[in-house]
Chains A and B, each alone.
Chain A
Amino acid sequence: MLLENMEPVVQKFYDGVAEGKYLGRKCTECGAIEFPPHLGCNTCGYHETEWVELSGHGTLVSFVIPGIQNDKPYLKEVGPYGYGAVELDEGPVYTFVVFCGKKKVVKNLQERLHAGEKIGVHAKPIQRVSVVKPGEPETVEWSELCFELDEAVEA
């Protein structure tokens, strides 16, 4: 492998999120999409994938309510949320933080999913800041890709 044949996939993914572009990689054999992107295909085990831009829209497939141990203050500041799994409209499934708009929505989501309701979600990146070296002022800023219920915006 030579330098010119490599590119930093994680960097490109986060650069995309910062611009509101959601990049995955599509298998050139079976067509399945890796999201977030990886080099190989985990659906069929083929070696080659290529960049593809995704809609950033999908449906909720699983949802867990945070407790003391797995609740995060920086997420609570943004709004009521839970830990979900999202199936993007293009097919891939991955786990993400899902913002719900209202607290009472969080509590009822599991019942609604169990009843078979299709619950739409869309990408909602949030800004994050990480300290480069403890005790020093330098930071890096990056965008965490979260999702939000469509109904939270419609409301």
Chain B
Amino acid sequence: MSVVKLGKDMRSVSIVGVGCTPFKNYEDHPETKGTSEGDAFGYAALEAIADAGLEPRDIQYFYHGAANPFMIGDSLTPNMQVADWFGVRGIGSVHHSEACCTGYVALQEAVQAVASGTYDIVLSGAVDLAASLPVIGAPGCFRRDFPLEEMLPSIPMVYDRAYGRPLDSAFGISFDNWINDYRWTYDLSAENIDDALNALSKSLRRAAVKNPLAFYDVDFDQVAQANGMANADEFLTSMMNPKVTQYLRVSGFETKCDGAAAVVVMPTELAIARGYDHTPIEVLGTGSAAFEGSTLANEYHGTKNAAAEVYALTGVSPDEIDLFLCNDFFLASEIVAAEECGFIPRGEAWKYAIEGRTAYDGDKPINPHGGRCNFGHAHGASGVADVYEAVKQLRGEAGATQTNVNAKTAFLRGFGGGQNVRAQIIRAID
């Protein structure tokens, strides 16, 4: 059960503007030290509005997303607290929070608001300053460090409080369950999985280094040399990059950082009539699923159902997908989700990873911005950053990491928050 037959939207909706701040630790850079949530959301929103050829006064309603505004934003009503920053004081807005799936829900909700006919021009953005914590009682420019020991207690909060957490059943099993099943299904060794994940790390970091918005500016070969090792392979398999679960090494978990991103959507008909220099990107549909973390194989079930919904709705065939974006805060998701969504043949993605075929310059690109572990993960904002990257790729504006596949259609697999899943297909309009 749970696969829903989706109805067609009342009208087609396209993305006409995107904005994204750098995904960094803002406290580490003199240009951004002291950045507040309002600053960050404001920069991303204004960039998206300008990209859409609009002014803030043209925005009729906006969505605000953040994964954990209470803890890392010292805020219960964050949508109220960013509106003035980009000149939309007084218009309606709403805050939503689906942890790391927030950014994909952001696109879905904005599209529905326009598709229904309620609004014509909607902005949807998200921000999380996840690299630091607010200084409680001080203005927004004052942040302090956010050590792992303060973050870890908050992570289980995405899991069911009635049974899941008390039975210790969600947190432990959710990291490795799907890749473990994959390993045994295809008769692979733990070394095969390790080789594939380390190859992904190299490809993704190579892309991130070329992307001015990404967190890292050194690749794994440089990291190895700085630590007296011969090359990336030696570093990635060393005790400096230990396995922290059965399969995942430190390099296979997210890089926590600060960031904000935003999109502007409008009816496709209006976008075409306005005559943009850049190609409007039509949102063909969103499939949705949510399986609580204590459910066995929840990421698998959620991905399977959400993908089935969006393919049934849109009539798009998996072989039409040119580019795959995927929340990969557990890096193994790039292998298993890409196969489940039909982007790579079953049982093959681990080999594609080793051969570099999923890199930005490969023939089956996944996360050409570097993904959560290398582009950086500003929790709620990352999904919108994925939309930003996909739109830039489909327009041919992705710069040094523009893929070679002349991408026209992209699939986004969002995942997070216990876990919510979204499967979205977007396409450049001819």
Contact = CB atoms under 8 A, between A and B. Distances in A.
B172 interface: yes
Nearest to A63: B180
Interface in A21-79: 36, 42-45, 61-62, 64-70, 72, 75
A97 B165 CA distance: 11
B168 A144 contact: yes
A45 B163 contact: no
A96 B167 contact: yes
Nearest to B298: A95
Contacts of A72: 168, 172
Interface string B1-34: 1000000000000000000000000000000000
B181 A36 contact: no
Interface residues of B, number: 28
Q: Give the interface SS of chain B, mostly helix, strand, loop or mixed.
A: loop
Contact of A70 (B1, B175, B181, B295): B175
A62 to B, nearest CB: 6
A97 B162 contact: no
B173 A114 contact: no
Interface in B221-268: 242-246, 248, 253
Interface string A132-154: 00000000001011100000000
19 contacts: A13-B163, A36-B162, A44-B1, A61-B296, A62-B173, A62-B177, A62-B181, A62-B297, A64-B245, A66-B246, A69-B175, A72-B172, A83-B173, A85-B173, A85-B296, A97-B167, A113-B184, A128-B166, A146-B167
Interface of B: 1, 162-163, 166-173, 175-177, 180-181, 184, 242-246, 248, 253, 294-297
Given A68-B245, A94-B167, A96-B167, 9 more contacts: A14-B166, A42-B1, A44-B1, A66-B172, A68-B243, A69-B245, A94-B296, A95-B295, A97-B167
Interface of A: 10, 13-14, 36, 42-45, 61-62, 64-70, 72, 75, 83-85, 93-97, 110, 113-114, 128, 142, 144-146
